[in-house]
């Protein structure tokens, strides 16, 4: 049995985590630290049947350290690394929400802390475990699609879900997928943002990333924050040299008629995505191996995101020379 | 780009003005997409009266022109200027090698003849500039053929123009043709000669996939990329400013042998701060059950829109179905009539056409800048 502590995160995510945990014999939530002293944790306590709820991380580590073996760190990005480092130093394995840090320097700090403590660190890039994306990856790995030539990802999020004006959290997830598909770092990066990006006091809602890989593959990754809808829209297309795979919410929606224009209702995959993520984390601990999503990969995606944002700000491409990226003026 | 109420199918079909004069049309070379000439003739106000070409073109060009003339029971004249004058031509329709497009269009315009031309406008910007000047000087109308009147594209345009998603911010266009273009990449054996471009394109005429025919090899960005850019131009109602692009020859040996791309990705800076991306290519028949994935994704200040260009469509599946038969058949297509109705209106009213000479030039300039970016790795200004 692996006992988990849940640190941070909103009620909706925590509730979903409790639903996912129900599928595991070998996994339980034994402790919860709600952020900001809110009461959301009480909901998850009810859902997870008797976990300890404490108000601060210090209390958890000082008084209840023997109640858990690993922690899911979903703290706010500004505190994520600090929290995860404290958990690691307490000898607990860490599943940290993506992005693992707010900067590549901070990511390095977390990596070092986990290495020094000898604990597992897995970055929770959940898209990798989405059933439709898993099916695409399996088709690629089976050789049916040939070598990857082009990857397109669109992720449109409702405004209420988006918590950042910097694009960083979602961008890191999507760029991680690109690196996962191609298995290499891009040698060219171009970022482009929509109206208002470079205007003081204004925000843009659109960010495009254009990547080129040494194997001649390419990727277009588009992110939008402003969807006026209760659910988002996601689409991933992978074109290989001998086949293609299309995972598109457009084809995975039901129609609802109740006056006016019909609404498209998405058939969700989020719970299965979370189950896949937890299974991989658990098995990496039990089998004492690296997870399929290593912390180094998590950091690579973060570094790439930083360069995309720099390119979008300065409006010129970035190229890789050896191990270093530099602007191509 | 003129997209007024004339694009409405209902409006177009009930206009009494349709019963005005019939325009006499010359087909100036019809060696590739004869669907352009057929599309022109689909409108009752346009009548094909002659096929013409220059006397010095190769024999196979004469043969194709002759065949089309015989099918339509109209004469074939081996002298362009003579045909335009002797048959009192109002409109020329041109669908030949890309490098001859502008020359024929300019000669028609100089005789006061309106022009409907296949894509691309040209593979040289200098030729486009000459055509722009000729069209303006002679006061004739010009329209480049497009798919912009397909039902889904019209619907998308109307949704954006009516402000249903607020002000548009970004657009992405997928334009993948899932046709093969000869043997796959890597199939050439050591010692085999490279595949000759023109010979290959001539042979591809049989299934209509010879859109890049000409002596100069032309990649998919120059060929199919025109359609995607025409969609962006129409829907976003914008100018194209700068471009970043990557290209590859990943699928077909003929593209590898001739040094032209069969797939490209493009990032575009548009006017008013808007942005666009597109992915264009010929990805092989195995990669899609139908003609290919053609999709538009548009975001705005108050919403977003996902459009499948193929819809409306009907799925038809049956025992013994040939492998190459598309399982989904597009329906309710009125592209040809609506394009030509727009053109007729432009002639009648002296207005602009759906894809006029300036828009067509900008599309060509964008493609050439994209190819330049693919070589330089830089964010290139569009001339």
Q: Which residue of B has its CA nearest to A187?
A: B377
- Domain edge (last residue) among A124, A147, A165: A124
Per residue in B87-138, pLDDT tens?
999 999 999 999 999 999 999 999 999 999 999 999 999 999 999 999 999 9
Say what the pLDDT of residue B281 is. 97
Cα angle B372, B378, B380 (rounded to 5 degrees) comes to 60
Least confident piece of the model among B22-26, B129-133, B179-183: B179-183
Say what the pLDDT of residue B5 is. 40
Q: Are residues A113 and A140 in the same domain?
A: no
Say what the pLDDT of residue A194 is. 86
Handedness of CA B121, B124, B127, B132 (dihedral sign): positive
Q: What is the CATH number of domain B5-144?
A: 3.40.50.720
Residue A198 to residue A203: CA distance in whole angstroms? 8
Q: Are residues A148 and A248 in the same domain?
A: yes
Q: Are residues A91 and A77 in the same domain?
A: yes
Q: What is the CATH number of domain B151-333+355-381?
A: 3.30.360.10
Contact between B343 and B202 (Cβ < 8 Å): no
Say what the pLDDT of residue B1 is. 59
A289 falls within a domain: no
Residue with tokens 């700090």: A109
Say what the pLDDT of residue A231 is. 80
Say what the pLDDT of residue B8 is. 46
Q: Are residues A104 and A235 in the same domain?
A: no
Is pLDDT of B240 > 80?
yes
In chain A, residues with a C-beta closer than 8 Å to the C-beta of B272 are 195
A169 falls within a domain: yes
Q: Are residues A6 and A92 in the same domain?
A: yes
Residue B173 to residue A154: CA distance in whole angstroms? 12
Q: Are residues A22 and A107 in the same domain?
A: yes
Q: Are residues A71 and A200 in the same domain?
A: no
In chain B, residues with a C-beta closer than 8 Å to the C-beta of A319 are 377
- Domain edge (last residue) among A78, A103, A124: A124
DSSP state letters, A247-291? EEGGGSEEEE-SSSSPEEEE---HHHHHHHHHHHHHHHHHTT---
CA-to-CA separations, B271 to A25, B242, B265, B293, B379, in angstroms, rounded: 57, 10, 20, 27, 15
Q: What is the complex's ipTM, to 2 decimals?
A: 0.91
Contact between B372 and B365 (Cβ < 8 Å): no
Contact between A80 and A16 (Cβ < 8 Å): no
**Token pair of A104, please?**
């590549």
Q: Which of B184, B269, B279 sits opposite A150 (nearest CB)?
A: B279
A199 falls within a domain: yes
Say what the pLDDT of residue B291 is. 86
Q: Are residues A194 and A317 in the same domain?
A: yes
Least confident piece of the model among A105-114, B2-11, B97-106, B240-249: B2-11
Q: DSSP label at B262? A: S
- The reply to whether residue B265 touches residue A150, judged by beta carbons under 8 angstroms, is yes
In chain A, residues with a C-beta closer than 8 Å to the C-beta of B243 are none
Residue B348 to residue B352: CA distance in whole angstroms? 11
Q: What CATH number did the domain enclosing A204 receive? A: 3.30.360.10
Q: Are residues A155 and A222 in the same domain?
A: yes
Q: Are residues A15 and A64 in the same domain?
A: yes
Residue B239 to residue B363: CA distance in whole angstroms? 10
Residue B201 to residue B207: CA distance in whole angstroms? 11
- The reply to whether residue A220 touches residue B267, judged by beta carbons under 8 angstroms, is yes
Each residue's pLDDT, cut to its tens digit, for chain A (329 residues) gives 999 999 988 666 677 888 898 999 989 988 888 876 555 555 655 555 667 888 899 999 999 999 999 999 999 999 999 999 999 999 999 999 999 999 999 999 999 999 999 999 999 988 999 999 999 999 999 999 999 999 999 999 887 554 455 788 899 999 999 999 999 999 999 999 987 665 555 567 899 999 999 999 999 999 998 787 668 899 999 999 999 999 999 988 899 999 999 999 988 898 999 999 999 999 999 999 998 888 889 999 999 999 999 999 998 999 999 989 999 88
Contact between B108 and B92 (Cβ < 8 Å): yes
Which residues have C-beta within 8 Å of that of residue A323, sequence separation ≥ 6?
none
Q: Which residue of A has its CA nearest to B185?
A: A241
Range of the domain at A205: 128-273+302-327
- The reply to whether residue A152 touches residue B283, judged by beta carbons under 8 angstroms, is no
Q: Are residues A202 and A269 in the same domain?
A: yes
A253 touches chain B (CB under 8 A): no
User: Which uninterrupted H or E stretch holds B380?
Assistant: strand B380-381
Helix, strand, coil % in chain B, rounded to nearest 5 = 40, 25, 35
Q: Which of A149, A206, A241 sits opposite B170 (nearest CB)?
A: A206
Residue A310 to residue B221: CA distance in whole angstroms? 28
Cα angle B43, B44, B49 (rounded to 5 degrees) comes to 95
Residue B293 to residue A246: CA distance in whole angstroms? 9
Percent of all residues in chain B with a pLDDT value above 90, rounded to a whole number? 86
Domain positions in chain B: 5-144, 151-333+355-381
Q: DSSP label at B301? A: T
User: Which uninterrupted H or E stretch holds B51?
Assistant: strand B46-52
Q: Are residues A135 and A192 in the same domain?
A: yes
Per-residue confidence band for B139, with pLDDT thresholds at 50, 70 and 90: very high
A256 falls within a domain: yes
User: Which uninterrupted H or E stretch holds A307?
Assistant: helix A295-314
Number of domains in chain A: 2
Q: Give Cα A203 to chain centroid, integer Å.
A: 23
Say what the pLDDT of residue A268 is. 82
- Domain edge (last residue) among A99, A124, A149: A124
Walk across the sheet containing A318-321 and list its strands.
A244-248, A233-240, A148-158, A218-227, A206-212, A188-193, A318-321, A324-327
């Amino acid at each position: 049995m692996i006992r988990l502590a849940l640190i941070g995160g909103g009620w909706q995510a925590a509730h979903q985590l409790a639903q996912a945990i129900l599928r595991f014999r070998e996994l339980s939530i034994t402790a919860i630290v709600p952020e900001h002293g809110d009461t959301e944790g009480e909901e998850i306590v009810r859902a997870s049947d008797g976990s300890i709820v404490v108000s601060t991380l210090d209390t958890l580590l000082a008084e209840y350290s023997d109640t858990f073996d690993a922690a899911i760190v979903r703290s706010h990005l500004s505190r994520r690394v600090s929290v995860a480092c404290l958990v690691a130093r307490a000898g607990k394995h860490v599943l940290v929400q993506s992005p693992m840090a707010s900067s590549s320097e901070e990511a390095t700090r977390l990596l070092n802390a986990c290495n020094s403590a000898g604990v597992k660190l897995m970055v929770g890039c959940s898209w990798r475990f989405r059933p439709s994306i898993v099916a695409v990856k399996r088709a690629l790995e089976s050789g049916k699609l040939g070598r990857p030539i082009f990857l397109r990802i669109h992720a449109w999020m409702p405004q209420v879900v988006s918590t950042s004006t910097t694009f960083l959290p979602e961008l890191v997830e999507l760029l991680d997928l690109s690196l996962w598909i191609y298995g290499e770092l891009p040698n060219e990066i171009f970022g482009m943002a929509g109206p208002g990006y470079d205007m003081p006091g204004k925000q843009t809602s659109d960010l495009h990333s254009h990547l080129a890989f040494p194997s001649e593959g390419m990727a277009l990754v588009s992110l939008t924050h402003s969807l006026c809808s209760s659910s988002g829209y996601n689409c991933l297309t992978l074109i290989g040299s001998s086949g293609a795979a299309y995972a598109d919410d457009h084809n995975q929606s039901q129609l609802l008629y109740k006056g006016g224009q019909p609404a498209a209702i998405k058939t969700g995959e989020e719970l299965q995505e979370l189950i896949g993520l937890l299974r991989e984390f658990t098995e990496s601990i039990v089998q004492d191996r690296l997870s399929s999503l290593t912390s180094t990969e998590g950091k690579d995606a973060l570094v790439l995101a930083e360069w995309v944002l720099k390119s979008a700000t300065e409006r010129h491409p970035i190229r890789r020379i050896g191990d270093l990226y530099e602007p191509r003026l | 780009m003129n997209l007024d109420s004339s694009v409405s199918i209902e409006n177009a079909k009930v206009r009494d003005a349709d019963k005005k004069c019939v325009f006499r049309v010359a087909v100036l070379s019809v060696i590739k997409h004869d669907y352009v000439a057929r599309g022109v003739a689909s409108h009752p106000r346009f009548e094909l009266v002659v096929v013409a070409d220059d006397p010095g073109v190769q024999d196979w060009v004469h043969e194709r022109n002759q065949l089309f003339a015989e099918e339509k029971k109209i004469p074939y004249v081996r002298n362009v200027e003579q045909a335009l004058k002797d048959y009192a031509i109002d409109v020329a329709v041109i669908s030949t090698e890309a490098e001859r497009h502008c020359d024929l269009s300019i000669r028609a315009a100089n005789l006061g003849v309106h022009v409907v031309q296949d894509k691309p406008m040209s593979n040289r910007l200098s030729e486009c500039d000459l055509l722009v000047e000729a069209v303006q000087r002679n006061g004739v109308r010009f329209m480049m053929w497009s798919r912009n009147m397909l039902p889904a594209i019209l619907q998308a345009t109307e949704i954006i123009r009516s402000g249903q998603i607020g002000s548009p911010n970004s657009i992405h266009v997928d334009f993948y043709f899932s046709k093969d273009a000869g043997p796959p990449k890597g199939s050439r054996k050591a010692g085999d000669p490279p595949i000759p471009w023109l010979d290959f394109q001539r042979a591809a005429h049989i299934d209509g996939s010879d859109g890049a025919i000409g002596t100069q090899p032309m990649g998919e960005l120059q060929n199919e990329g025109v359609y995607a850019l025409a969609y962006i131009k129409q829907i976003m109602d914008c100018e194209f400013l700068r471009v970043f692009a990557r290209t590859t020859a990943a699928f077909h040996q003929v593209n590898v042998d001739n040094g032209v791309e069969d797939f490209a990705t493009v990032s575009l800076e548009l006017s008013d701060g808007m942005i666009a991306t597109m992915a264009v290519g010929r990805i092989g028949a195995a990669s899609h059950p139908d003609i290919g994935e053609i999709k538009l994704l548009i975001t705005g200040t108050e919403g977003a829109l996902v459009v499948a260009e193929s819809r409306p469509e009907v799925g038809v599946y049956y025992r013994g179905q040939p492998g190459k038969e598309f399982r989904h058949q597009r329906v309710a297509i009125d592209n040809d009539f609506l394009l030509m109705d727009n053109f007729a209106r432009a002639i009648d009213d002296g207005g602009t056409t759906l894809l006029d000479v300036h828009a067509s030039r900008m599309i060509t300039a964008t493609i050439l800048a994209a190819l330049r970016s693919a070589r330089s790795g830089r964010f290139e200004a569009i001339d």
